C-alpha cells in the first residue's frame, strides 16, 4: 500500500515503516556523534519505550552508554491493508540497530499497568539481562485498568476550581482561537491521578525489588513537565498537575524503599517538545509553537533526543552534580524557563493571532515534528513506494 499521513484531530492514524526507521536511525546518529557517556548505566528498563522521551532514553542508554535495554510498550500491530502504530515500527528499528551494534535489545508488548507485564519483565530480566541499574518510567496513556481493583480509570485534562478561557491553537487549520475549559470534578481529578500519577511507578519498583532483579546503586527516573505559568491553568494547576504532584510523592516512597540497595528515585522535569500526548493538551501547542520560535532564533532549541542526551550526559553520568530543585527533582527545563526565553514568549502571547502566527510562532516546525513522530517528512524516504505494512512479518 502507499502510506500517507491521515490526521484526525490530534492523532495520525497511519505510520510509515521506513519513515519510522529513519526517525530512529536519525536519533541514533545524533547520539553517536556526541560520543560515549561515561556512566555505570549498563542494564536499563524503559517503561513506555516506543516513542517520545521513552524511545530517546532507550536510544541514549544503548548508543550513548552501551547499555543492554529492555523496552515495554503497548502497540497495535499492522494488517495487510492497515499500518501498525508508529511505536510498533520504532521498536523493530531500534532492535535491529542495537543488535547490529552488538547491544542486547528486547521489547515486550502489552499493558504496562498489568501485573502480567511486570511478571514478564522479571522473567525476561532473569533469563537474559541480569540485574537492572536504571528504570525509566515514561508512560503516556489516557486510561489505566487498575491491577488490584480491576477498575478502569480515564484521565481528564481539565482545570480545577472554575472554568477557564484561554488561547489555543488548531494545529491542522493553523488557527488561533479561544477555548472554554470546564473544571474537573473530584472523581475526574482522582481518575487522572490514578492514570498519570505515581502509583504504577511504585508498583513497578516494588515488583522488581521483590523479585531481586535490581542492582546495588539502582536508580529510577519518572519524567514530568512543569512548564510556564502561561500553561498552568490547564497543566500544573489542573488535573495534570495533581497527577504530576503524585509523582513527587511516589519518588519519596520509592527512594525510602531502595535504601538497602543504595538506590534512589527522582522525577526529571523536561522541556516542552512535540509528542502525541502533548499535542492533545489544549493551549500547549500554541505555547510550544511560540517557545520553539524563540528558542530557535536564539540557537537554544533542543529536539527530543538532544534533550535526553543532555540529561544522561550532565545528570546521570559518573561524577556529575545533579541540578536539583527544592523538591529534589532533576531540572532539565533550565533553558526553557530562563527569564530571557520566557520574557519573549510572554511578550508574544497576548499579541499572537491567526494572522501573525507565522511571524511570531513556529507552527510549521511543530507540524514537522508531529509528522516525524509517525515517520513522515524525511527526505530520504520515498513516500510513493508500495509497501507491505507488516514488513513481511507474521502478525
Residue 17 domain-assigned (yes or no): yes
Closest CA to 25 of 86, 90, 74: 90
pLDDT in tens, 106-148: 999 999 999 999 999 999 999 989 999 999 999 989 999 999 9
The H-assigned helical ranges of 258-329 are 276-279, 284-297, 304-311
The catalytic residue positions are 235
Nearest to 242 by CA among 157, 162, 136: 157
Instruction: Give the predicted TM-score (pTM) of the model.
Output: 0.96
Reduce the DSSP state of residue 134 to 3 states and report it: strand
Question: Would you say residue 256 lies in a domain?
Answer: yes
The pLDDT value given to residue 337: 96
Q: Given this model, what pLDDT does residue 80 score? A: 86
**What's the pLDDT at 264?**
97
Specify the pLDDT at position 394.
80
Q: State the Cα–Cα distance between residues 137 and 194, nearest whole angstrom.
A: 15
CA distances from 23 to 37, 157, 236, 334, 389 (A): 22, 29, 31, 26, 17
Q: Is residue 357 part of a domain?
A: no
Asked if the structure places residue 119 within a domain, the reply is: yes
Q: What pLDDT score does 273 carry?
A: 92
Low-confidence residues in the chain, pLDDT < 50 = none
Count the neighbouring beta carbons within 10 Å of the beta carbon of residue 80: 9
As a whole number of angstroms, the distance between CA 48 and CA 110 comes to 10
Question: Is there a domain that residue 294 lies in?
Answer: no
Q: Is residue 205 part of a domain?
A: yes
User: Three-state SS for 93?
Assistant: helix
Task: Please tell me the distance from the alpha carbon of residue 166 to that of residue 176, in angstroms, as a whole number.
Answer: 10
Residue 350 has a pLDDT of 96
Q: Give the pLDDT of residue 282.
A: 82
The predicted pLDDT at position 195 comes to 97
Cβ-contact 357, 286 below 8 angstroms: no
Quick check: is 160 in a domain?
A: no
CATH number where 24 lies: 3.40.50.720
Residue 175 lies in a domain: no
Domain count, the chain: 1
Q: Using CA atoms, how far apart are residues 87 and 37, in angstroms rounded to an integer?
A: 26
Q: For residues 24 and 44, what is the distance between their CA atoms, to the nearest angstrom?
A: 18
Structure confidence at residue 304 (pLDDT) = 96
Q: Which residues contact 153 (CB under 8 A, 6 or more apart)?
A: 143, 144, 145, 146, 191, 194, 195
Q: Which domain holds residue 256?
A: 13-143+192-275+302-333
Amino acid at each position: 500500500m502507499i502510506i500517507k499521513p491521515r490526521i484526525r484531530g490530534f492523532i495520525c492514524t497511519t505510520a510509515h515503516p521506513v519513515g519510522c526507521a529513519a526517525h530512529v536511525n536519525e536519533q541514533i546518529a545524533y547520539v553517536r556523534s556526541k560520543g560515549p557517556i561515561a556512566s555505570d548505566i549498563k542494564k536499563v528498563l524503559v517503561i513506555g519505550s516506543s516513542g517520545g522521551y521513552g524511545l530517546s532514553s532507550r536510544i541514549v542508554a544503548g548508543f550513548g552508554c552501551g547499555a543492554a535495554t529492555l523496552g515495554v510498550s503497548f502497540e497495535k500491530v499492522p494488517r495487510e491493508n492497515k499500518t501498525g502504530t508508529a511505536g510498533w515500527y520504532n521498536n523493530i528499528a531500534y532492535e535491529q540497530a542495537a543488535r547490529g551494534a552488538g547491544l542486547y535489545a528486547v521489547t515486550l508488548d502489552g499493558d504496562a499497568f498489568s501485573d502480567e507485564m511486570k511478571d514478564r519483565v522479571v522473567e525476561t530480566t532473569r533469563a537474559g539481562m541480569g540485574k537492572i541499574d536504571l528504570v525509566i518510567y515514561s508512560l503516556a496513556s489516557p486510561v489505566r485498568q487498575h491491577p488490584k481493583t480491576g477498575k478502569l480509570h480515564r484521565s481528564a485534562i481539565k482545570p480545577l476550581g472554575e472554568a477557564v478561557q484561554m488561547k489555543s491553537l488548531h494545529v491542522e487549520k493553523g488557527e488561533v482561537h479561544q477555548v472554554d475549559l470546564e473544571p474537573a470534578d473530584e472523581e475526574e481529578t482522582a481518575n487522572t491521578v490514578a492514570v498519570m500519577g505515581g502509583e504504577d511507578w511504585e508498583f513497578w519498583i516494588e515488583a522488581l525489588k521483590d523479585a531481586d532483579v535490581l542492582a546495588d546503586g539502582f536508580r529510577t527516573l519518572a519524567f514530568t513537565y512543569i512548564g510556564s505559568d502561561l500553561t498552568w491553568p490547564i497543566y500544573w494547576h489542573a488535573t495534570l498537575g495533581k497527577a504530576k504532584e503524585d509523582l513527587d510523592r511516589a519518588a519519596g516512597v520509592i527512594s525510602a524503599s531502595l535504601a538497602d540497595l543504595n538506590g534512589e528515585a527522582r522525577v526529571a522535569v523536561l522541556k516542552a517538545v512535540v509528542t502525541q500526548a502533548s499535542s492533545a493538551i489544549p493551549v500547549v501547542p500554541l505555547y510550544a509553537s511560540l517557545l520553539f520560535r524563540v528558542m530557535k532564533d536564539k540557537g537554544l532549541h533542543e529536539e527530543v533526543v538532544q534533550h535526553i542526551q543532555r540529561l544522561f550526559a550532565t545528570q546521570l553520568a559518573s561524577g556529575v552534580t545533579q541540578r536539583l530543585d527544592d523538591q529534589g527533582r532533576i531540572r532539565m527545563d533550565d533553558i526553557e524557563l530562563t527569564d530571557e526565553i520566557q520574557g519573549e514568549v510572554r511578550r508574544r502571547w497576548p499579541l499572537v493571532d491567526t494572522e501573525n502566527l507565522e511571524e511570531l510562532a513556529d507552527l510549521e516546525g511543530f507540524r514537522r515534528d508531529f509528522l516525524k513522530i509517525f515517520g513522515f517528512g524525511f527526505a530520504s524516504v520515498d513516500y510513493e513506494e508500495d509497501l507491505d505494512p507488516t514488513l513481511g512479518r507474521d502478525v
